[in-house]
Amino acid sequence: RDFNERCAQCSEVNWGLTDGGRFYCRSCHNVTERTREVVNTDFVSNTRIQTISKDLRKQEKNDGGCEWYVCEGFQLVLKKQAEALEALGVSPQMKDEILCNFWRLYLQKSKQAYCNRPAGETVKALSVCDSSTDVDSEPERPSLLHLLSLSESEGDLQTDCSFASSTSKISESTSVCSGSVDGSMYLMKNQKEKLRMTMPMTLSFCYMALLWLREPMTLSDLLRFVVEGHIPYLNVFQHFPEKMKLCGLDLKIFCVESWPVYEEVYNKMLELAAFLDLPRFPDITDSCFLHPDMLCMKYLMEANLPDELHNWTCRVVKKIRIGEADFLTLVPGNKSTRKVKYDVLAVAVIVVVLKLLFLLDDHYEWLLSDFAEERNKNNKEGGPYFEFKKWYKVIKCSLDVEQKKLDEERAKYLWRCEKPLFYSAQKKSKVLKRRQIVVNLQNQFGKLSGSVRPAEKPNPSSFQLSWSEENTDGSCFHGHSLKGILQEKCGLLTAMNPDYWLCTVKLCTEKLCGHLAHYREVEFPQSYHFVLRLFSFLLRIQPSYIHDEVCAIEHKLFNKKLCKKPKYNIGLRK
């Protein structure tokens, strides 16, 4: 009653006293630094007892759960993903140094930690939830953001005191709509300028760290390992500690009910790198796995194509200068440099080489195949000539089987997590009992229908399709020769095919379009579409993205002839 100063936040004179002896405004909950002097020691001891009892009541009300923040949940997800990548053979440096530093920098840039939080955000936070209960005391400041450090050796994050006190007050009101302290605020406030964290962005963080270390793992490999369950992503919140209660809006943040999309993860990685103001990434040289020459060798082996094609892919890479470090290395924020998708670039080079040698117009490749077949029948000496028709049949059979298996696995996938979610101790036994009943019923119906329980997943591999030269059925084409389609000219081997058809004469320059060229299956030869379908399956992306890269490579390769003859797309000489 003796304190008559106006509140600095709302200009009201409506003060209360916290358990620590400090004044706070009952209107806006602003806590001042001024304290009330207390002479009676009995009053102080009683106050301490009331504080302890209130904490116990609060703990019972929250069913043993602890206060946690959304960024803590995402850090736990990143920690689990980094551990899974380390188990797959990635360098431990990724988790303990690279990814950890990226995450700290993001928290600082987004003003979630390692910074002084703007005072205006605490007022916004208090106005989010309409709480009818009057806050009569301020508990002692908790150690905010008890983050499970990625390196397991660092301390808690540094946050400012005003935010800690305000968020602790509103924790009870926010728990009504979310288990986390700031779950409701996280989705309501505008964070476009701060690049709000999402589940797909966790994969962007991982890929950015892999790219910084130049690890032999492409983005398509990373997403495939996620879908196969080797890297935590779907239902990852079931790995959260028991005290981190999830409910309401928390599930909207951490629960994922869709497969990760290549373009979304890649674009978010570019935004992250620019948002964090990262310097130029380490150079991608010809000795790195991500270099086109290396990746072309990998995808030629997986596509069961002749080894001799690698010489042609290297020639194309050198001709259009896409193997140079300045072209391949990521420079965040530099809009003038083209952003490279290493796996897509490599398979596009292979497609261009196949068009150079076989044309892929649904006619010329079959003529070459008939010639090679006759030669292989009449001449048994030396290595066999490559037969495109035979390769097509072998690959199509394997591709159809693998595609059907993938479609069935996706159709049968259970989006609900194995670990049941419950939000109170009273409901825990009921939820567990109900879950056990569901599992028993599934097992009984499975026995009646004769369905076989799925076997354990094999160990992850960089190759989805494997071919061995030891097979006697002739299904491996790695050692087959290209002599039937090549001729020597001026000391160099050139293709007998003198023509080439362009996918498009003019690239699309519309930024809103998102594609360099439009792809419709009916407008292109079936052989070309089959090759795109094969590589789109290996990369788990849409064929249109590979088609875009093919068009870009073609325009670099035939740039001079396009300038001379812009109206023609058939009959271009190599």
Residue 267 pLDDT > 70: yes
Q: pLDDT averaged over the chain?
A: 78
Cβ contact 466:349 at 8 Å: no
Q: Cα–Cα–Cα angle for 435, 441, 442, nearest 5°?
A: 90
Tell me what the mean pLDDT of segment 171-188 comes to: 63
So what's the pLDDT on residue 160? 39
So what's the pLDDT on residue 423? 55
So what's the pLDDT on residue 537? 96
0.85 cut: is pTM over it?
A: no
Residue 175 pLDDT > 50: no
Residue 473 pLDDT > 70: no
Q: Enter the tokens of residue 155.
A: 């301390």
Rg over alpha carbons for the chain, rounded to the nearest Å, is 31
Q: Enter the tokens of residue 354.
A: 């196949």
Distances (CA, A) of 530 to 364, 397, 399, 536: 15, 12, 10, 10
Residue 290 pLDDT > 50: yes
Q: Cβ–Cβ contacts within 10 Å for residue 230, how many?
A: 17
So what's the pLDDT on residue 553? 94
Could you give the percent of the chain with pLDDT greater than 90?
40
Q: Which of 3-12, 283-292, 336-345, 460-469 has the lowest mean pLDDT?
A: 3-12
- What is the C-alpha to C-alpha distance for residues 443 and 445, in angstroms, rounded to an integer? 6
- What is the C-alpha to C-alpha distance for residues 37 and 50, in angstroms, rounded to an integer? 19
| Identity of the amino acid at 264 | E
So what's the pLDDT on residue 130? 38
So what's the pLDDT on residue 20? 63
Tell me what the mean pLDDT of segment 194-222 comes to: 94
So what's the pLDDT on residue 307? 94
Could you give the percent of the chain with pLDDT greater than 70?
72
- What is the C-alpha to C-alpha distance for residues 290 and 294, in angstroms, rounded to an integer? 7
pLDDT in tens, 5-56: 888 777 778 888 776 677 777 776 677 766 665 444 444 444 433 333 334 3
Residue 159 pLDDT > 50: no
pLDDT in tens, 87-107: 999 999 999 899 999 999 999
So what's the pLDDT on residue 36? 60
pLDDT in tens, 439-461: 788 777 777 776 655 556 667 88
Give residue for tokens 């001799």. 308
Q: Enter the tokens of residue 79.
A: 């920690």
pLDDT in tens, 399-426: 999 999 999 888 878 777 766 666 555 6
- What is the C-alpha to C-alpha distance for residues 103 and 147, in angstroms, rounded to an integer? 12
pLDDT band at 244 (very low <50, low <70, confident <90, very high): confident
